[in-house]
Chain A
Amino acid sequence: MDRTNNSEPILKLEDLSTHFAVPEGIARAVEHLSYHVFEGETLGVVGESGCGKSVAALSILRLIPIPPGRIASGKILFMGQNLLELPMKKMRKIRGDQISMVFQDPMTSFNPVFTIGYQLSKVFTLHQKLSRKEAVKRSVDMLEACEIPSPERIMKVYPHQLSGGMRQRVMIAMALGCNPTVLIADEPTTALDVTIQAEILDLILRLKKKFGMAMILITHDLGIIANSAQRVVVMYAGEKVEEADVLSLFEKPGHPYTIALMKSLPHLGKTKKFLNEIEGVVPPPFRVIQGCKFAERCPEAMERCRKERPRLRSIEKGHMVACHL
């Protein structure tokens, strides 16, 4: 679709594994995960809590606390260079400048004792070496671009004085300030009300188009994915179980987990007495599982699923599924 003259993805995860040392052993939060995003594309990453979607994103920016965390394997290639091998000083330059992130909770991700203006203009004085005056001017421009009313006044207030939606707009202004090539949005609207969520999503997508960024949109909400993503990666228990174009994912989901997830959603206007439920719970990340991680909840699990880990295979062009079926 939007993949004209760019054969090489701008950001590519190859075989990434992120582990954490926990009292129970090793929590394999992300295991052998590979995904990529092209220039100007929106990649949706969807999965339930604990599936490793956020840990993977934090690994990209190298924000995983080490220890207890550990990148056990893999590469993260950003414009050809492996981010995992960069010295921290260079990494800091990339963070917030070329790859930036919008976090879930707009309350806890700001420093409560500094004004919005101070925190926002820091982005420009740090990354673009602007003078304070210029930085303030750029900040006001960014706030305006994010459709914040009376930006001059907002510059002087503290985070707690803003509503959740406004805070998230400021966060977006901050993330987009340096015109990044990749924006990682980790559950950007989960803490917001539906009507505000619709506004913020709309804003992110419009700005994304305007600035021509690539975006990795991480969410648990299949509705948001359907509305915004072009390609989708479905994760379960630290692994990628399916990857597809958004249309083919929703029309022909291949993995039993994806199918079950879609069926378990209540649909507006379609009344059924009972929802399809997925039996059981996600296995804890420290449990060593030989076969398919979804096998114990899968309605179609066979003997083979419990013994052998399924590999990703292509079921049609650009549609990959990790399932023996």
Chain B
Amino acid sequence: MKEIKMNNVLLQVINLVTCFPLEKTKLFQKTPFLCAVNGVSFDLKKGETLGLVGESGCGKTTTGRSILRLVEPTAGQILFEDEDVSVLTGQDMRAFRRSAQMVFQDPFASLNPRMTVGDIVEEPLLIHGLHRNRAERKDLVASVLKKVGLEPDYMKRFPHEFSGGQRQRIGIARVLTLNPKLVVADEPVSALDVSIQAQIINLMVRLQEEFNISYLFISHDLAVVEHISHRVAIMYLGKIVEIAPAENIYAKPAHPYTKALLSAIPVPDPRSRIKGMVLRGDIPNPADPPSGCTFRTRCPIAEDVCSREVPEMREIGPDHLAACHALQPAGAE
């Protein structure tokens, strides 16, 4: 069914589960768990961008962090170039970290205010013991800064001297020094203004072409994700509910949640004001998710079966999977 050319797949996530223990509320209670990521599977090809979209608390950030093992996954497999990341230790782990990097959301909090830009961008090289020659390192830092659109003489300045957009460029430069294969970008543009947002997105697209980087692009903004991604995965309460090529998500959304998400986005055109499908109610508490399909409490087309059975991801079109009982699988009439 799924044609995966093994040599082309960089990252494969199979049934990833990440749970966090909660505080006990009763004396002899079993420790309750909150499963922020509850059975997520996808794969990412070389040079591809997979967008991960969802509302706050849906587990998209935890997914990104689990893949880099910044939080330990509870179950599931993460195969990076066919090697299981979740069992790596020591040297192997360092090697993995070198080729899988992260860009953070808040460019104000993710740069050490006491280090100069040069030191920040150089630090990964020192940690990984690359380019032991000092002059060589400086040259590399300068060239990387130029790549992200910053002047090499900014090296001696401190992060507070820069605007949000420039700081995000520094964050990207820091990642680039290691020449990674995978970059997990967690809401890299959501702290930025629209005009700056476009600059950073274009930069990321350009870098991807030049270095053949794969991005896992995490964001709550469907318009941004649709723009930058080749494929888009929609997450709801710890699960992927739909995954499809970017153009299909907009043209042929299948899952009711995707449809609701699309219709909720205010389109910058006064002639097409929001109409129809406004979702009612809040996202359920992820520590106590609804039975069956987790979306059923807000779903406009929920039926009996939705509260009993968890819908499986099914192929409903070429390269297009969705988890909903109301959808007919591809081929079945």
Using a CB–CB cutoff of 8 Å, the interface residues on chain A facing chain B are 48-49, 163, 165-166, 193-199, 201-202, 220-227, 246-247, 250, 260-262, 264-269, 271-279, 281-282
Write 13 A-B pairs (CB below 8 A) sorted by A numbering: A195-B55, A198-B278, A223-B268, A226-B269, A227-B266, A227-B273, A247-B270, A266-B226, A268-B222, A268-B226, A269-B226, A274-B205, A282-B193
Tell me the nearest residue of chain A to B58, going by C-beta. A193
Q: Which residue of A lies closest to B202 (CB)?
A: A274
> Are B224 and A266 closer than 8 Å at their CB atoms?
yes
Distance (whole angstroms) from the CB of A60 to the closest CB of chain B = 24
Whether B270 pairs with A199 at a CB distance below 8 angstroms is: no
From B166, B195, B222, B224, give the contact of A277 (CB < 8 A).
Answer: B195
A30 to B53: give the CA distance in the assembly, Å: 36
- By a CB distance below 8 angstroms, the chain A residues around B278 are 195, 198-199, 202
At the interface, yes or no: B170 with Cβ under 8 Å from chain A?
no
Is B264's CB under 8 angstroms from A265's CB?
no
Q: Is B261's beta carbon under 8 Å from chain A?
A: yes
Q: Tell me which residues across on chain B come within 8 A of A194, comparing CB atoms.
A: 55, 220, 222, 261, 264-265
User: Which residues in B have some Cβ–Cβ distance to A below 8 Å?
Assistant: 55-56, 163, 165-166, 193-199, 201-202, 205, 220, 222-224, 226-228, 246-247, 250-251, 260-271, 273-274, 278-280, 282-283, 298
Give the 7 A-B CB pairs with smallest separation, nearest first.
A223-B266, A266-B227, A198-B264, A193-B55, A278-B195, A264-B198, A48-B193
Contact, CB under 8 Å: B194 / A223? no
Question: A165-B282, A199-B278, A266-B226 are known contacts. Are A275 and B198 too (CB-CB below 8 A)?
Answer: yes
Q: Is the CB of B55 within 8 A of A277?
A: no
Provide the residues of chain A in CB contact with B279, threshold 8 Å: 195, 198-199
Specify which of B220, B250, B270 is in contact with A226 (CB 8 Å cutoff).
B270
- Given A220-B193, A266-B227, A271-B247, are A250 and B268 neighbors across the interface (CB < 8 Å)? yes
- Pair B194/A261 contact, Cβ less than 8 Å: yes
A23 to B: closest C-beta gap in Å: 13
Which residues of A sit under 8 angstroms from B220, Cβ to Cβ? Answer: 193-194
CB closest chain-A residue, reference B262: A268
Q: Who on chain A is nearest to B263 by CB? A: A198
Interface centre among B228, B266, B269 (most CB of A within 10 A): B266
Given pairs A262-B268, A265-B223, A269-B226, 20 additional interface contacts (CB within 8 A): A48-B194, A49-B193, A193-B283, A194-B265, A195-B260, A195-B298, A196-B282, A199-B280, A223-B265, A224-B266, A226-B266, A247-B271, A261-B195, A265-B194, A265-B268, A268-B222, A268-B262, A272-B227, A278-B198, A281-B166
- Bound: A70/B22 CA distance, A: 49
- In the complex, what residues of B have CB within 8 A of residue A225's CB? 268
The minimal Cβ–Cβ distance linking B78 to chain A, given in whole angstroms, is 27
Q: Which of A193, A250, A275, A282 contacts B56 (CB 8 A)?
A: A193
Given that A195-B261, A268-B223 are known contacts, is A222 also in contact with B55, CB under 8 Å in the complex? no
- Bound-complex Cα distance A195 to B268 (A): 17
Report the Cα distance A49→B190, complex, angstroms. 13
